[in-house]
Amino acid sequence: MDQRPDLIAIFAGGFYLVASLRLFRLGRRSGKRPELLLGAYFAGAGQWFAIQNGALLIGFDALPALAEQVAEWVYVASVIAYLLFIKTVFRARDAWAHSLVGAAIAYLLLGASALSVSGELVSALDNPWFLIEWIGYTIPCVWMSVEGVLAHARAKRRVAIGICDPIVADRFLLMGAFGFFQCVACAAELFWAAENVATPLFSSAAFRLLGAAEAASIALLWLAFFPPRLYQRWVENRSAALARAGGLRP
């Protein structure tokens, strides 16, 4: 079996855990919920990636059932935190957002509960509970990508009249792109699940797609949460150059 995506997933897990620690620290400093909610998501996703793939890498065929159940439920809780982060930040007053969050949570809980009761967390297309849970954790990925791109488009206009930092506008786009690559990761999981009906082995193509999506996600989060000075200067210079050229002039 090709182990490279495993290593990327373990690295992604470690990176998500580091990002979550940073967000928890920022949340404690500001006393605000959004940082804590996003930190909770990365903590849940990080432990899931690190534990699942770490166990495979050190020679376990599978995690002990209880450990797998705990990791799964922590992940489900973290996806709920992610949904609440997106709603709180972008759509706090929109009734449809409440409904979307409710629907996604219902899918997550129904799918995860049924998988837990059956005792097998099997990712296969002929397992309806897997598909139901998949919809639940794909919704926030799609939602984040859409909100990130829309917020970036609006923020660019505010940058043009001097009431938004170009770094903040760029961070919207980075998080939108992160959402997109998480959608790619979800799609890769679906490809894998489609093949898993016939064989328990990972498809090398789906596995590589998953690895590429996670590698891209790490790069985007690094630029969003730990932006190097050089990158910040590039964003600021690009924004200033666009304004000079009239590209961002209102």
Partner 1 sequence: MTATLFDIAAEKLEGKTDMDRLAARGTLRLALKEAGLDPQKLSVAQLRAVFEKLMPKELEARGVGNASRICSAVMDQIAAASVAAEPAPSDSPDDVFRRLGGG
Contact between 154 and partner 1 by CB under 8 A: the answer reads yes
Tell me which of 7, 62, 65, 161 binds partner 1, using CB under 8 A.
Answer: 161
Q: Which residue from 59, 200, 246, 250 is in contact with partner 1, where contact means CB under 8 A?
A: 250
> Is residue 156 part of the contact set for partner 1 (CB under 8 A)?
yes
> Does residue 190 interact with partner 1 by CB under 8 A?
no
- Binds partner 1 (CB under 8 A): choice among 158, 183, 215, 242: 158
The one segment of 41-49, 98-106, 162-170, 206-214 that binds partner 1 by CB under 8 A: 162-170
CA angle 54, 11, 131 (to 5 degrees): 70
Interface mask (CB under 8 A) for partner 1, residues 87-126, using x and -? -xxx-xx---------------------------------
CA-wise closest residue to 200 among 119, 120, 131, 114: 120
Q: What residues contact residue 27 under an 8 Å CB cut-off, 6+ apart?
A: 33, 34, 35, 36, 39
SS (H, E, C) 101-143: HHHHHHHHHHHHHHHHHHCCCCCCCCCHHHHHHHHHHHHHHHH
* Spatial distance between the Cα atoms of 21 and 41, rounded to a whole number of angstroms: 11
Return the closest-CA partner of residue 56 out of 125, 9, 95.
9
Q: Which is nearer to partner 1, 123 or 232 (CB)?
A: 232
227 in contact with partner 1 (CB under 8 A)? yes
Separation CA 79–CA 45 (nearest Å): 8
> In the range 14-53, which residues lie near partner 1 by CB under 8 A?
22-23, 26, 30, 32, 34-35, 38
Question: Contact between 225 and partner 1 (CB under 8 A)?
Answer: yes
Contacts of 78 (CB under 8 A, 6+ apart): 40, 41, 42, 43, 44, 45, 48
Nearer to partner 1 (CB atom), residue 63 or residue 151: 151
* Residue closer to partner 1 (CB basis): 188 or 220: 220
Q: In the structure encoding, which two tokens stand for residue 112, read together?
A: 């995860």
From 115, 6, 130, select the one nearest 68 (Cα to Cα): 115
Quick one: which segment of 70-78, 132-140, 161-169, 235-243 binds partner 1 (CB under 8 A)?
Answer: 161-169
Looking at the Cβ atoms of 5 and 179, the one nearer to partner 1 is 179
Angle, nearest 10°, between helix axes 128-160 and 166-196?
A: 160
Q: Return residues touching partner 1 (CB under 8 A).
A: 22-23, 26, 30, 32, 34-35, 38, 88-90, 92-93, 151, 153-158, 161-165, 167-168, 171-172, 175, 224-225, 227, 250
